[in-house]
Structure 1
């Protein structure tokens, strides 16, 4: 989503780090200085420069705790500024997650901090979509889940293992998405849920890890231990612990607790491209959907709603469907709908009434968005579907997805 990210000290404008998309040249230092200089000039005259646009680019500034200034430069897609501000908020909290709030806002030695902050690079790149595919969780500020019939069984395995780890925070990740988690894990803030999910997907696969983390909203000054264990390829179980137990003490318990669940784990992993139960049949015109619950900070998405991959209309590839779904979401949220993305309520508040539904039609596809209670559903259909039929089909799909006992969004 972002082509460039620049992080500087707010007081002196000293560059701390920059991140650049792989296919672009790094920003020259004079350009970085100019971008920071125009922001500082505005601040000196009691003006807060938040964003600006050129013919083909958008630039967004954010200052955190009068300590760190973040600047994002991206292609101008006419999306509301809230989406870019949310990215910068995630980047700042990623720094807090891995080095702690005190180190970030009270930099005593800038050169030392530059070295310490390098531990955040992979996570920051993951947030910005610079390395790896850009996911729905950093776009929606809601953690992606995978809904499978086996989740109820896996919940019991997770609860038992978490208790053995002397923790109340446990989570099972399958293909980068949350399958099940403990109640305390779900009680974490939206920022924390998203960042922990992105952190795991940004790390190099390994059998086990013990990583110090600071929870940005719950405990930004107190380090915790995030321990992860790979059960099989694409599946990891995680716990957040205090000083004990040690990684070596917990590793032998993996086989004892999780071996009986192997068949269930494999079944859920096979579902990872679809993300919801195979017994739920959606309308054959459906190319993809994104379901968000604003109260639980969870989202369920699928760009392969037909399990066998077949579809009468193959105009859009899976990657194109994902791009269309993301673009449609960005166009709706912050303009017509408010969501869990901070600042997304400002645009819709300008209307005299609250929009509940919206749609667009193109030559290759059609999209429909609907709000109902805490849920928001964004649908992508093939172009052959009659426009008048989209509303009823979207209503039926929302009912199917929210009432199925195997889906807990």
Structure 2
């Protein structure tokens, strides 16, 4: 039977040992307690037989993915499925991984790995809901990091000035970890910030966006780094420089929020107001106007495989004449870009990342096995692929250093897709070199 409506996702969090529910988020129509108990029970039964149950699918397309973290917390994602989609596993596995890392980021690993008081943990977990709901409700339109685990970036027109100011600002605060974010994307960051694990960079960006949306001008927020420092908290200081422009840094007990705000922010950033406005003018295009993109590119995702940084954008789409097939809306283009990335990385291209630390006995994520099985049909590593749908044409291109995913209108001849992609890749790599 179909457990949820098409396209809806519900997240369940339970204690791994006893199956006590900690929270549920997601679909408005929650699953009955009996179904939740059954989902937990079938996983526990498999574990008792020496079998790790990682995912399952109903005859009507609903998908269920399980994962246990630190032998303490079980996360279950239940999806109503998307008609015609066979790539839901990657999305749901990424979701569980991100949710666990959010819980560690906010609460620390000790509190999650050693559950002493269930009721207290339930209350503490409420502080994670805002970030978790952003993932479930896909309110991160314009960013792809939750899926790609690459930092969402933009290319500022005046990066040298901004980099120097950021380094000076963080050093004055006795820190080496800082970044400047424009419209929720990283414009510049210190060397140590880039040395953080890619998933940590993605989560810190998401947290900064969330704090910015709360309306506060500055904040002092304790965070744990899921891989670098899961048991010792750091302070995340965030300051709004202009609407849409935020600077943040990780630091220890000093400086105080008041000192950093009153003495350091003005000293280093007031002289750069015009440079910041130039960054804001780049907007969601993520590339300066000096980078010329072909008019037949609807949307793109560019990934630097070595640095784990990405640039993604959806261009403004003019209304098509009545005789021309309508182009997808802006929000639909973001959705199609995510779907094409998932389609390609589960079949042709490598995800290019080390798997997250698993609990003992957990084994490799199911999606990696699926990719390996599918890839056995090839005698080589695919470097290009394309897909023609009812809404647009898609082209993927992979080199040793980069991956590029493009959406184009249906009117673009299929045989020209490769040249469109190579020209676009050349334009972006020249701008980001």
Answer whether TM exceeds 0.5 for this pair: yes
Q: Match for residue 377 of structure 1?
A: 404
Q: Tell me if the contact between 1:61 and 1:70 (Cα under 8 Å) persists in the aligned partners.
A: yes
Q: Structure 1 residue 40 and structure 2 residue 44: aligned?
A: yes
Does the Cα contact within 8 Å between 2:337 and 2:407 map onto a contact in 1?
Answer: yes
Contact 2:141 2:331 in 1 (8 A): no
Structure 1 residues 87, 368: CA separation in 2 closer, same or farther (over 3 Å shift)? Answer: same
* Conserved 8 A contact 1:3-1:130: no
How far does residue 26 in structure 1 lie from its aligned partner after superposition? 1.8
Task: Give TM-score scaled by structure 2 length.
Answer: 0.88
Aligned to 2:300: 289
Classify the secondary structure of the residue corresponding to 1:43. Answer: helix
Spell out the pairing of 1:1-80 with structure 2 (5 A cutoff): 3-21=9-27, 24-54=28-58, 55-76=60-81, 77-79=85-87
CA separation in 2, counterparts of 1:265 and 1:296? 24
C-alpha distance after superposition, 1:14-37 (max 9, x if no partner): 00111023xx21222111111111
Among candidates 233, 239, 262, match of residue 249 of structure 2: 239
How far apart are residue 311 of structure 1 and its match?
7.5
1:152 and 2:160 aligned: yes
Give the Cα–Cα distance (whole angstroms) in 2 for the partners of residues 133 and 318 of structure 1.
10
Secondary structure of the corresponding residue to residue 62 of structure 1 = strand
List gaps (5 residues or longer) in structure 1: none
Rounded Cα–Cα distance in structure 2 between residues aligned with 1:255 and 1:82: 44
Q: Distance in 1 between matches of 2:137 and 2:152?
A: 16
Aligned residues: 401
Cα distance in structure 2, aligned partners of 1:83 and 1:337: 16
1:217 counterpart = 2:227: yes
* Alignment partner, residue 111 of structure 1: 119
CA change 1:169–1:2 in 2 (3 A) is farther
> Residue deviations 1:277-323, cap 9 Å, x none?
1122222211010001122111101101x6xx547675222112111
Q: Any gaps of 5 or more consecutive residues in structure 2? A: 1-6, 356-364
Give the 5 Å matches for 1:185-224: 185-203=193-211, 204-224=214-234
| Corresponding residue number in structure 1 for 2:360 | none
Q: From 72, 89, 104, give the equivalent of 1:96.
A: 104
| Secondary structure, counterpart of 2:178 in structure 1 | strand
Alignment pair present for 1:339 and 2:343: no
Counterparts of 1:393 and 1:62 in 2: how far apart (Å)? Answer: 41
Give 1:131 deviation, angstroms.
Answer: 5.1
Give the superposition deviation at 1:400: 1.4
Is the partner of 1:238 in helix, strand or coil? strand
Rounded to whole Å, the distance in 2 between the matches of 1:28 and 1:171 is: 44
Given that 1:143 and 1:190 are in contact with CA atoms closer than 8 Å, whether structure 2 keeps it comes out as yes
Please tell me whether the aligned partners of residues 142 and 334 of structure 2 are also in contact (alpha carbons under 8 angstroms).
no
Measured on the aligned residues, the alpha-carbon RMSD in Å equals: 1.8
The answer (yes or no) to whether the contact 2:179–2:186 under 8 Å persists in 1 is yes
Deviation per residue, 1:186-242 (Å, 9 max, x gap): 000011011101111223121111111111111111110000001111111001001
SS of the residue corresponding to residue 284 of structure 2 reads coil
| TM-superposed deviation, 1:362 | 2.4
Distance in 2 (alpha carbons) for counterparts of 1:75 and 1:144: 28
The question of whether the paired residues in 1 share the 8 Å contact of 2:26 and 2:136 is answered with no
Which of 256, 266, 270 is residue 259 of structure 1 equivalent to?
A: 270
TM-score by length of 1: 0.93
1:390 is aligned to 2:417: yes
Q: What residue in structure 2 maps to residue 316 of structure 1?
A: 328
In the TM superposition, what is the alpha-carbon distance from 1:2 to its structure 2 partner?
Answer: 6.1
Cα distance change on mapping 1:119 and 1:73 into 2, 3 Å: same
Question: Which residue does 1:249 correspond to in 2?
Answer: 259
Find the residue that maps to 2:404 and give its secondary structure.
strand
* Superposition deviation, residue 56 in structure 1: 2.9
Question: SS in structure 2 opposite 1:273?
Answer: helix
Contact 1:338/1:345 (CA < 8 Å) preserved in 2? no
**In the alignment, is the contact (CA less than 8 A) between 2:220 and 2:236 conserved in 1?**
yes
> Contact (CA 8 Å) 2:90, 2:342: kept in 1 or not?
no
